[in-house]
């Protein structure tokens, strides 16, 4: 399912982040905001009136500044806007229309994306202020107060109406494989080896985000789309604490979301690092079938138990996503690279598999026979049946007499 993407932009100090936090945290339900190994994300999936869309917050935009920090922020904004279906442009109703607002307006016109204009800080419903902002040429401005939560319903209605009107092209009918990982793990080497080893490269297609390139690949009757992404760097402070990782994470997230399966490349010579675990967390939160590729296996000093030790460490570090498949390869010399594409087909088939309700309930009955459901305050948990309601990821619904008892039983196991 395509989730429309909304980039939230504006100059500094217009209350843009306050609006973002208000929208995703209070007035609407958060669809995917699982706390865990990933932090400092600048995107949230949200729902309004049954419509799900993704909002990306960005740093305050200073287009004229030559400062290095503002350059990083601008790059982040450009990436978000390029990938977005629409832009939520936030301006300051208290200060009124400024030259900086006009500069950002000129920038947004060049990207040719639908723009929803929000005039913030109208705490006392000063609707007369809105007239000046018609000059920006983005249609009706929506007067709001992010601080007080005023006008947000109309703004959200406008967002949903705008993204519903944006046409969406169907993705190519190919198995889409996102290759992600930190820099220097051998991600590009693996990509090149996959594309160059007895393969017929059909075409190169510009990806939806900067530094993400889609390459169509035919292997016999199998058709793939390899989505290569920039390496996801560890958080690195620059001027005033701006985080370079921010926009590399955005690129990777967008690639992961489009993919049917994610191949995460790690450096076996370094072992599973903290950054690798964070990247795996992003993949897990998107619910994608996953392959962990330990690259540079040829550089590892090995004995009879080396691989077993690696597997044990992987299970410990990635206990939150124990459904992954692991491979040990050397992209440089091509060893076991030919196992990657078949593994992709295998894990996608597993993620798309549907299990018959009868078989599920046989397993459930046996599990209940082995382990009696618990009781609480004199009330016993009764489990009636289980059925599968979705695939990718496989999703199951269990019918019980008391969900609270089931919740307690789950926490106890």
Residue 276 pLDDT more than 60?
A: yes
β-bridge partners, 387: 397
* Residues 300-326, mean pLDDT to the nearest whole number: 92
d(CA 194, CA 175): 14
Helix axes 245-258, 274-285, angle to 10 degrees: 40
**Residue 3 CB partners (closer than 8 Å, separation 6+):** 45, 52, 53, 54, 257
Q: Is 274 found in the same domain as 179? A: yes
* Residue whose C-alpha is closest to residue 146's, from 121, 165, 114: 121
- Per-residue pLDDT of 346-399, as tens digits, reads 999 999 999 999 999 999 999 888 988 877 777 888 889 999 998 888 899 999
pLDDT at 241: 36
Q: Is 331 found in the same domain as 210? A: yes
Q: Is residue 283 part of a domain?
A: yes
- Per-residue pLDDT of 55-80, as tens digits, reads 888 878 887 777 766 676 777 788 77
Residue whose entry in the numeric block shows the structure tokens 């049946």: 385
403 falls in which pLDDT band (50, 70, 90)?
confident
Q: Is 66 found in the same domain as 49? A: yes
Domain encompassing residue 229: 175-351
Q: Is residue 220 part of a domain?
A: yes
Backbone dihedral angles phi then psi of residue 205, each to the nearest 5 degrees: -120, 130
β-bridge partners, 45: 32, 54
Number of domains, the chain: 3
**The domain boundary residue, chosen from 140, 164, 188:** 164
Residue 209 pLDDT more than 70?
A: no
**Residue 198 CB partners (closer than 8 Å, separation 6+):** none
* Residues 134-163, mean pLDDT to the nearest whole number: 93
Q: Is 211 found in the same domain as 130? A: no
Q: Is 338 found in the same domain as 385? A: no
Q: Is residue 245 part of a domain?
A: yes
Q: Is 194 found in the same domain as 309? A: yes
Give the other-Cβ count within 10 Å of 287's Cβ: 17
Mean pLDDT of the chain: 82
Residue 217 pLDDT more than 90?
A: no
Helix axes 340-351, 187-196, angle to 10 degrees: 100
**The domain boundary residue, chosen from 164, 197, 215:** 164
Q: Is the peptide bond before 393 cis (omega within 30 degrees of 0)?
A: yes
Give the other-Cβ count within 10 Å of 59's Cβ: 24
Helix axes 99-111, 68-83, angle to 10 degrees: 40
Q: Is residue 169 part of a domain?
A: no
Which of the pair, 235 or 279, is modelled with greater confidence?
Answer: 279
Which of the pair, 42 or 376, is modelled with greater confidence?
Answer: 376
Q: Is 256 found in the same domain as 153? A: no
Q: Quote the pTM value.
A: 0.65
36 falls in which pLDDT band (50, 70, 90)?
very low
In this structure, are residues 229 and 211 in contact, taking their beta carbons and an 8 Å threshold? Answer: yes
Residue 247 pLDDT more than 80?
A: no
* Residues 220-237, mean pLDDT to the nearest whole number: 74
Q: Is 336 found in the same domain as 224? A: yes
* Residue whose C-alpha is closest to residue 140's, from 155, 156, 121, 125: 155
Q: What does the block give as tokens for 379?
A: 């009330």
pLDDT at 2: 65
Q: Show contacts of 230-233: CB within 8 Å, 24+ apart.
A: 231/181, 231/182, 231/183, 231/184, 231/185, 231/187, 232/180, 232/181, 232/182, 232/183, 232/275, 232/279, 233/182, 233/183
pLDDT at 62: 80
In this structure, are residues 405 and 376 in contact, taking their beta carbons and an 8 Å threshold? Answer: yes
pLDDT at 231: 67
pLDDT at 111: 87
Residue 134 pLDDT more than 90?
A: yes
Q: Is 380 found in the same domain as 261? A: no
Residue 35 pLDDT more than 70?
A: no
**The domain boundary residue, chosen from 115, 144, 164:** 164
Q: What does the block give as tokens for 93?
A: 């109703």
Residue 27 pLDDT more than 50?
A: no
Q: What does the block give as tokens for 345?
A: 């087909």
407 falls in which pLDDT band (50, 70, 90)?
low
29 falls in which pLDDT band (50, 70, 90)?
very low
d(CA 405, CA 175): 41
Least confident range of 6-20, 68-82, 178-192, 242-256:
242-256
Q: Is residue 30 part of a domain?
A: yes
Give the other-Cβ count within 10 Å of 35's Cβ: 7
- Per-residue pLDDT of 157-206, as tens digits, reads 999 999 888 776 655 578 999 999 888 888 888 888 888 754 444 545 43
pLDDT at 173: 78
pLDDT at 80: 79
Which of the pair, 377 or 321, is modelled with greater confidence?
Answer: 321
212 falls in which pLDDT band (50, 70, 90)?
low
pLDDT at 28: 41
Percent of the chain residues topping a pLDDT of 70? 82
pLDDT at 191: 86
Helix axes 68-83, 245-258, angle to 10 degrees: 10
Q: Is residue 384 part of a domain?
A: yes
d(CA 259, CA 264): 12
CATH of the domain at 66: 3.40.50.300
Query: Can you say how many angstroms the Cα of residue 183 is from the centroid of all Cα atoms in its chain?
Result: 19
Q: Is 369 found in the same domain as 316? A: no
Q: Is 361 found in the same domain as 326? A: no
Q: Is 333 found in the same domain as 240? A: yes
d(CA 353, CA 390): 9
CATH of the domain at 407: 3.30.300.20
Q: Is residue 170 part of a domain?
A: no
């Amino acid at each position: 399912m395509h989730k429309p993407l909304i980039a939230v932009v504006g100059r500094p100090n217009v209350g843009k982040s306050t609006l973002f936090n208000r929208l995703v945290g209070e007035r609407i339900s958060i669809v995917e905001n699982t706390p865990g190994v990933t932090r400092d994300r600048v995107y949230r999936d949200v729902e309004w009136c049954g419509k799900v869309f993704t909002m990306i917050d960005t740093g305050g935009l200073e287009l004229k500044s030559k400062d290095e920090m503002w350059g990083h922020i601008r790059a982040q904004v450009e990436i978000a806007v390029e990938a977005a279906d629409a832009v939520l442009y936030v301006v300051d109703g208290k200060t009124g229309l400024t030259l900086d607002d006009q500069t950002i307006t000129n920038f947004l016109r060049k990207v040719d994306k639908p723009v929803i204009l929000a005039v913030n800080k109208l705490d006392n419903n000063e609707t007369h202020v809105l007239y000046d902002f018609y000059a920006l040429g983005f249609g009706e401005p929506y007067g709001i107060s992010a601080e007080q939560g005023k006008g947000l319903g109309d703004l959200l209605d406008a967002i949903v109406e705008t993204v519903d009107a944006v046409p969406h092209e169907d993705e190519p009918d190919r198995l889409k494989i996102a290759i992600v990982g930190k820099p220097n793990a051998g991600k590009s080497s693996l990509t090149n080896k996959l594309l160059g080893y007895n393969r017929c490269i059909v075409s190169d297609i510009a990806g939806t985000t900067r530094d993400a390139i889609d390459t169509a690949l035919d292997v016999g009757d199998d058709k793939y789309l390899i989505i290569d992404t920039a390496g996801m760097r560890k958080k690195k402070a620059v001027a005033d604490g701006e985080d370079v990782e921010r926009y590399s994470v955005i690129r990777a997230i967008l690639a992961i979301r489009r993919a049917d399966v994610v191949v995460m490349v790690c450096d076996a010579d370094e072992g599973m690092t903290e950054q690798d675990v964070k990247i795996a967390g992003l993949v897990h939160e998107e619910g994608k079938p996953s392959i962990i590729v330990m690259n540079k296996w040829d550089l590892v000093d090995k004995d009879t138990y080396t691989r077993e030790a690696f597997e044990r460490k992987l299970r410990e570090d990635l206990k939150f996503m124990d459904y992954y498949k692991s491979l040990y390869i050397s992209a440089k010399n091509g060893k076991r690279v030919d196992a990657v594409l078949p593994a992709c087909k295998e894990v996608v088939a597993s993620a798309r598999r549907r299990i018959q309700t009868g078989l599920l309930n046989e397993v459930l009955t046996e599990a209940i026979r082995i382990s009696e459901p618990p009781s609480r305050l004199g009330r016993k948990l009764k489990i009636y049946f289980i059925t599968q309601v979705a695939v990718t990821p496989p999703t199951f619904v269990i019918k019980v007499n008391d969900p609270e008892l089931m919740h307690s039983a789950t926490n106890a196991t």
